[in-house]
């Protein structure tokens, strides 16, 4: 099967357009469908305040050249780079943009990859349609020792709608499906949409994906800033679409990364891998529905797994999984594997402090002089990139391609490099070797240690037993182990402007020697995408250490007086089911079961008898029924 055909694969024609329900909401066997998304929709309508940002405010249709187009790249998996896929793909995209821009004649219109996905051995990049023909000219070019193939996805024979018809259809669709007052975008039951053109575009997977990508592109064009878009759309429903995975709708997490409410109920997700593409993508997700999917029975740990993916999630399938306080504190530094303590800085005569202050100023301004000051023939330096490090959890937008090309060839990431010769050649020893390696790294600008102290975490400990460069101390000499975490800007030397903002970790071992009395024994640098400073800026130290860890829904303690025949796992499921049927909190549901010796039928009877007398805090905040 060729790569273009693979893009269409993995999904049947029943997806979206052929789901097993009719427009009246009944299955094709005549039985009514359970609308598990009703409560979430009511919650969305009730909770979200009305806003004055209207998606209909911009009525200009995008031109053909502004629409996105997919290009499939194959052959890249044969690259000779020692780095893994996480490093190869960003570097390949940076190469593509540079090469295509050189061929593109308009200097003011650089070629940029808007999005990309990897499906098996195919790298699918989304670019402006106006640039597609130029990118396709790269077909047959060599990259990292292998020949690349560029092609468009195979065109479906039924694709006979004009561009204007497609644009008009999508705009009409948005006008009908978006509620500005509740900030709610209804993408449910797309296969039963009232517009025949919409149904036509969803008949096969490849066209459904194009429709959805076009929908997201038009959404992005409708708002001047991402902040306006995030404010205008806070809830989305994808219910009743018979989706087997997220491949068709994956770009939703790129266009609307700050969604608060998401409905994925009544689809066809059967395993955790089907939804893993959105793991950690929606950092502000508050409510999620994924009920009425086969995955509920196939994955016993589903609730626990999904709760761990979304740190601010409060309600999952209408079950409370976190308190408001736990969700609010989700991004604070809590439950570290060891207590968060103040920085350790065991210095003597300000030797380590002066080294740190001098080093980063010199590294940003004159690396050759810096190396000659602190390094000698026995000094070691190495660096690596960590492409899988966590990103800034407070970022409002997903960062674009990180462009690691300047680092990959000499990166000494030992998790990626398995051959000893490759590891040895990436370890630089001696002043000249260190200077040579530094000249190939991008120019940098680090924050001022005095003015921006909160952007740094620096620790120092005494390090005995270092080699004595004078050979007068057989047992070694004392030095310092310095660990530094911070951030820096990569600078464009020609303009003096920052072009990338990254985080770094650097470890030094320093000892006596050198022209100024201090020599670097070892220097290890790790560069990663910007990850924020939350990890070393706890707001309240005592509260952070004592804060309880978010738990999966309704955990039942081992001490609960359940009969021996009822395991803790069964007891937990009984609590969850009682919550579903009564809307009581986990605590009240558990107490109710304990009082009737874990007899579920008697628990329901007991609840019915005392319901009128229960206090308000015994219940979850259940939204009122949707008014027809």
Alpha-carbon distance 281 to 397, whole Å? 10
3-state helix, strand, coil in the chain (%, to 5): 35, 20, 45
The values of phi and psi at residue 480, to 5°, are: -135, 145
Place of tokens 């694969």: 9
Once rounded to an integer, what is the mean pLDDT over residues 251-275? 90
Q: How many domains does the chain fold into?
A: 3
Q: Who contacts 267 (Cβ-Cβ below 8 Å, separation ≥6)?
A: 238, 239, 240, 241, 242, 243, 244, 292, 293
Once rounded to an integer, what is the mean pLDDT over residues 20-26? 41
Residue 565 DSSP SS3: coil
Residue 569 is predicted with a pLDDT of 66
Alpha-carbon distance 101 to 200, whole Å? 36
**Residue with more model confidence, 341 or 571:** 571
For residues 297 and 376, membership in a common domain is answered with: no
**Residue with more model confidence, 353 or 616:** 353
What band does 523 get if pLDDT is binned at 50, 70 and 90?
A: very high
Least confident of 238-242, 333-337, 394-398, 611-615: 333-337
Would residue 25 be called left, alpha or beta, if left means φ above 0 and alpha means ψ between -120 and 50 degrees? left
The last residue of one of the domains, among 321, 341, 368, is: 321
DSSP per-residue string spanning 72-99: EEESGGG---SS-HHHHHHHHHHHHHHH
Q: Which of 91, 89, 90, 100 is nearest to 138 (CA)?
A: 100
For residues 179 and 121, membership in a common domain is answered with: yes
For residues 162 and 301, membership in a common domain is answered with: yes
Residue 321 has pLDDT above 80, yes or no: yes
What band does 261 get if pLDDT is binned at 50, 70 and 90?
A: very high
Place of tokens 């893994």: 84
Would residue 30 be called left, alpha or beta, if left means φ above 0 and alpha means ψ between -120 and 50 degrees? left
Q: Identify which of 117-126, 163-172, 360-369, 593-602 has the greatest average pLDDT.
A: 360-369
Least confident of 22-31, 316-325, 404-413, 414-423: 22-31
Residue 89 has pLDDT above 80, yes or no: yes
Residue 626 is predicted with a pLDDT of 38
For residues 585 and 531, membership in a common domain is answered with: no
Residue 538 is predicted with a pLDDT of 54
**Model confidence pLDDT, tens digit, residues 492-516:** 988 889 889 999 999 999 999 888 8
Residue 454 is predicted with a pLDDT of 82
What band does 596 get if pLDDT is binned at 50, 70 and 90?
A: confident
**Residue with more model confidence, 165 or 327:** 327
Residue 625 is predicted with a pLDDT of 40
Once rounded to an integer, what is the mean pLDDT over residues 306-335? 80
The answer as to whether 339 is a domain residue is no
Residue 155 is predicted with a pLDDT of 57
The last residue of one of the domains, among 536, 566, 586, is: 536
Least confident of 109-118, 533-542, 567-576: 533-542
Place of tokens 């940029």: 112
Residue 469 DSSP SS3: coil
For residues 532 and 559, membership in a common domain is answered with: no
Q: Which of 229, 191, 235, 183 is nearest to 212 (CA)?
A: 191
**Residue with more model confidence, 238 or 66:** 238
Which residues share a beta bridge with 509?
Answer: 481, 522
What band does 578 get if pLDDT is binned at 50, 70 and 90?
A: confident
Residue 84 is predicted with a pLDDT of 52
Would residue 110 be called left, alpha or beta, if left means φ above 0 and alpha means ψ between -120 and 50 degrees? beta
Residue 428 is predicted with a pLDDT of 94
For residues 513 and 586, membership in a common domain is answered with: no
CATH number for position 184: 3.80.10.10
CATH number for position 426: 3.10.450.50
Residue 267 is predicted with a pLDDT of 92
Q: Who contacts 7 (Cβ-Cβ below 8 Å, separation ≥6)?
A: 70, 72, 119, 122, 124, 153, 154, 206, 209
The values of phi and psi at residue 484, to 5°, are: -130, 130
The encoded tokens of residue 361 equal 């100023």
The answer as to whether 548 is a domain residue is no
Residue 428 DSSP SS3: strand
Of the chain, the percentage scoring pLDDT greater than 70 comes to 74
CATH number for position 596: 1.10.8.10
For residues 398 and 512, membership in a common domain is answered with: yes
Alpha-carbon distance 572 to 586, whole Å? 10
Once rounded to an integer, what is the mean pLDDT over residues 264-274? 91
For residues 51 and 116, membership in a common domain is answered with: yes
- CA torsion angle for 372, 374, 379, 380 (degrees, to 10)? -100
Alpha-carbon distance 568 to 565, whole Å? 10
The answer as to whether 543 is a domain residue is no
The answer as to whether 529 is a domain residue is yes
Of the chain, the percentage scoring pLDDT greater than 90 comes to 21
Max Cα-Cα span within the chain? 92
Place of tokens 């990049």: 125
**Model confidence pLDDT, tens digit, residues 110-153:** 888 888 877 778 888 988 888 888 899 999 998 888 899 999 87
The values of phi and psi at residue 103, to 5°, are: -85, -25
Alpha-carbon distance 324 to 328, whole Å? 6
Least confident of 4-18, 112-126, 130-144, 352-366: 4-18
Residue 543 DSSP SS3: helix
Which residues share a beta bridge with 182?
Answer: none
Alpha-carbon distance 66 to 129, whole Å? 6
The answer as to whether 330 is a domain residue is no
Residue 409 is predicted with a pLDDT of 87
Q: Which of 144, 220, 233 is nearest to 181 (CA)?
A: 233
Contact in structure between 139 and 151 (CB atoms under 8 Å):
yes
The answer as to whether 327 is a domain residue is no
Alpha-carbon distance 615 to 585, whole Å? 11
Least confident of 159-163, 184-188, 409-413, 584-588: 159-163
**Residue with more model confidence, 502 or 327:** 502
For residues 426 and 513, membership in a common domain is answered with: yes
**Model confidence pLDDT, tens digit, residues 391-420:** 887 776 666 677 888 898 889 988 888 888
The answer as to whether 343 is a domain residue is no
Which residues share a beta bridge with 489?
Answer: 445, 501
* Burial tier of 175 (Cβ tally within 10 Å: 0-12, 13-18, 19+): exposed
Residue 448 has pLDDT above 60, yes or no: yes
Residue 130 is predicted with a pLDDT of 84
Alpha-carbon distance 243 to 11, whole Å? 8
For residues 310 and 379, membership in a common domain is answered with: no
The answer as to whether 345 is a domain residue is no
The encoded tokens of residue 392 equal 């800034």
State the pTM of this model.
Answer: 0.43
Residue 37 has pLDDT above 80, yes or no: no
Calculate the average pLDDT of the chain: 77
Which residues share a beta bridge with 149?
Answer: 74
CA angle 584, 587, 589 (to 5 degrees): 45
**Model confidence pLDDT, tens digit, residues 44-83:** 444 433 333 344 444 454 555 556 788 999 988 887 654 4
Residue 434: which H helix or E strand, with range?
helix 431-439
What band does 264 get if pLDDT is binned at 50, 70 and 90?
A: very high
What band does 211 get if pLDDT is binned at 50, 70 and 90?
A: confident
Would residue 189 be called left, alpha or beta, if left means φ above 0 and alpha means ψ between -120 and 50 degrees? left
Residue 597 has pLDDT above 70, yes or no: yes
Give the residue numbers spanning the domain of 67.
1-321
Contact in structure between 60 and 223 (CB atoms under 8 Å):
no
Contact in structure between 146 and 78 (CB atoms under 8 Å):
yes
For residues 410 and 310, membership in a common domain is answered with: no
For residues 231 and 282, membership in a common domain is answered with: yes
Residue 524 is predicted with a pLDDT of 96
The alpha carbon dihedral of 535, 538, 543, 545 has a sign of positive
């Amino acid at each position: 099967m060729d790569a273009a055909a693979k893009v269409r694969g993995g999904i049947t024609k029943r997806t979206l357009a052929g789901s097993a329900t009719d427009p009246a909401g009944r299955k094709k066997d005549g039985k009514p469908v359970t609308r598990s998304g009703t409560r979430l929709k009511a919650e969305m309508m009730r909770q979200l305040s009305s806003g004055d940002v209207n998606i209909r405010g911009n009525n200009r249709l995008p031109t053909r050249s502004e629409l996105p187009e997919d290009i499939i790249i194959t052959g890249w998996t044969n690259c000779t780079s020692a780095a893994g896929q996480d490093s190869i793909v960003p570097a390949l995209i940076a190469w593509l943009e540079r090469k295509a821009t050189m061929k593109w004649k308009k200097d003011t219109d650089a070629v940029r990859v808007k999005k990309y996905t990897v499906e098996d051995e195919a790298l699918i990049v989304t670019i402006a349609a106006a640039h597609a023909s130029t990118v396709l000219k790269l077909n047959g070019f060599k990259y990292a020792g292998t020949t690349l193939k560029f092609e468009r996805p195979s065109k479906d024979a039924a694709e006979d709608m004009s561009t204007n018809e497609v644009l008009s259809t999508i705009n009409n669709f948005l006008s009908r499906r978006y509620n500005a007052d509740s900030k709610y975008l209804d993408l449910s039951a797309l296969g039963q949409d009232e517009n025949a053109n919409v149904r036509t575009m969803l008949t096969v997977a490849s066209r459904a994906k194009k429709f959805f990508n076009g929908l997201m592109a038009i959404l992005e064009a409708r708002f001047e800033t991402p902040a306006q878009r995030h404010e205008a759309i806070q809830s989305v429903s994808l219910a009743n679409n018979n989706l087997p995975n997220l491949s068709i709708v994956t770009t939703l997490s790129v266009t609307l990364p700050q969604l608060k409410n998401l409905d994925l109920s009544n689809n066809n997700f059967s395993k955790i891998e089907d939804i893993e593409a959105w793991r950690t993508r929606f950092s502000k997700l508050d409510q999620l529905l994924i009920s009425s999917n086969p995955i509920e029975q196939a994955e016993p740990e589903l609730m626990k797994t999904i709760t761990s993916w979304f740190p601010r999630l409060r309600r999952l399938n209408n079950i409370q999984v976190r308190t408001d306080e736990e969700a609010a504190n989700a991004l604070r530094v809590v439950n570290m594997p060891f207590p968060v303590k103040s920085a350790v800085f065991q210095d003597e005569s300000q030797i380590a402090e002066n080294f740190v202050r001098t080093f980063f100023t010199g590294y940003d301004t004159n690396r050759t002089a810096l190396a000659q000051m602190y390094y000698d023939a026995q000094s070691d330096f190495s660096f690596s990139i960590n492409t899988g490090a966590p990103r800034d959890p407070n970022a409002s937008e997903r960062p674009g391609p990180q462009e690691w090309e300047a680092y990959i060839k000499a990166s000494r990431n030992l998790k990626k490099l398995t051959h000893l010769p490759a590891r040895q050649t990436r370890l630089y020893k001696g002043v000249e070797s260190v200077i040579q390696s530094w000249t190939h790294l991008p120019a940098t600008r680090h924050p001022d240690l005095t003015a921006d102290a909160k952007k740094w975490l620096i620790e120092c400990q005494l390090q005995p037993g270092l080699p004595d460069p004078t050979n007068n101390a057989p047992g070694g000499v004392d030095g310092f182990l310095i660990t530094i975490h911070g951030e820096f800007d990569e600078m464009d030397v020609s303009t003096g402007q920052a072009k990338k903002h990254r985080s770094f970790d650097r470890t030094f071992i320093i000892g006596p020697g050198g022209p100024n009395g201090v020599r670097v024994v070892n220097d290890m640098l790790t560069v990663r995408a910007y990850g924020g400073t939350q990890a070393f800026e706890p707001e309240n130290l005592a509260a952070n250490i004592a804060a309880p860890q978010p738990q999966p829904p309704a955990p039942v303690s081992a001490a609960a007086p359940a009969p021996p025949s009822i395991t803790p796992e069964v007891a937990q499921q009984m609590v969850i089911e009682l919550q579903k049927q009564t809307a009581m909190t986990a605590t009240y549901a558990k107490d109710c079961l304990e009082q009737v010796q874990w007899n579920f039928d008697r628990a329901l009877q007991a609840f019915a008898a005392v319901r009128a007398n229960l206090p308000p805090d015994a219940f979850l905040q259940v939204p009122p029924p949707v008014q027809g």
